[in-house]
Structure 1
């Protein structure tokens, strides 16, 4: 039993969790961009995502989303609720990667004077010919993979401790 426990601990100590979480590869509007008021937020990730959540906040913390964000493969779209006034806005996002881990981030962009209708009346070729601007690395990423491994090690150690205590109790009972 000691050899099995040592082998199990050796495997757990040397096994590294897969870090296959997705990353934000581009956004429209892009991070730190100055744009006319957008009608929607478009986020593109390196891998397909699900369960998207996007918030659009003004400098005072007011929300400007319309409805829920939608995900199709590696693209997430969030409609903007109403015309955005000039100012700085923060896009906060959360998605679940294919590996099941949530990934979050945020970035800021600035709306210059104008309205969403001005952006929508631009020539169709001008809007569709330009690829989405790359977004810089998100402000933060979260992952719970490390906590899973810590919890697993604690459980294994508890099972080993319980087995050793049971063996001691049985061997002590046999001597009496």
Structure 2
């Protein structure tokens, strides 16, 4: 094997050694599944909200709140089982609701966001308030001060922020993959050319 090809393969191995071990760290936690679902209209008044994330949650710093307009719904403390957090409450009246959450995963990364759903139960009553639900703020979702030291706060306060982490990770993996493929293709080209020349 000629020196240029050998050098190229060594460089490729060095790039992979640097990039691949760090790849798992790029995948921050994010909301994977919600019940009731984001943007859904449920026909039966729910008595709980269940949020499933990509990574395990830290029970001490898991906060989930439901509000209707400016009215916060009385709910239980979040019950955390692995990557899932659940709160329970009395059956909701008909109307629009906002679920706000802030969680800290086991790796210390903080994720926060919100989404809306609607209750349209023929047997239920009207919601306590018809005002549009505000974006989550400190009065709805609070994390003890020590959580800030455990991890930096997420830059945005809606579901799009959590999803943007995933899109950024996808872009990074695509770039890494493209670099690896390009280097392999170039190495193959040099190897084939040198064999023909020999």
In the superposition, the TM-score normalised over structure 2's length comes to 0.48
Query: Who is 1:66 aligned against?
Result: 75
Query: Who is 1:37 aligned against?
Result: 45
Cα 1:114–1:139, aligned 2, differ >3 Å: closer, same or farther? Answer: farther
Structure 1 contact 90–109 (Cα < 8 Å) conserved = yes
- CA-based RMSD of the aligned residues comes to 2.7
Per-residue deviation, 1:86: 0.8
Q: Which SS does the other structure have where 1:140 is aligned?
A: helix
1:1-176 superposed matches below 5 A: 18-35=25-42, 36-50=44-58, 51-58=61-68, 60-80=69-89, 82-114=90-122, 138-141=159-162
In the superposition, the TM-score normalised over structure 1's length comes to 0.54
Instruction: Say how many residue pairs are matched.
Output: 108
Give the Cα separation in 2 of the matches to 1:91 and 1:67: 14
Cα 1:110–1:97, aligned 2, differ >3 Å: closer, same or farther? Answer: same
| Larger of the two Rg values belongs to structure | 1
Per-residue deviation, 1:21: 1.9
Per-residue deviation, 1:98: 2.0
Higher percent of residues as strand: 1
- Gaps of at least 5 residues in structure 2 are 1-17, 125-157, 166-198
Per-residue deviation, 1:114: 4.0
Higher percent of residues as helix: 2
Per-residue deviation, 1:115: 5.3
Per-residue deviation, 1:111: 0.2
Structure 2 contact 65–75 (Cα < 8 Å) conserved = no
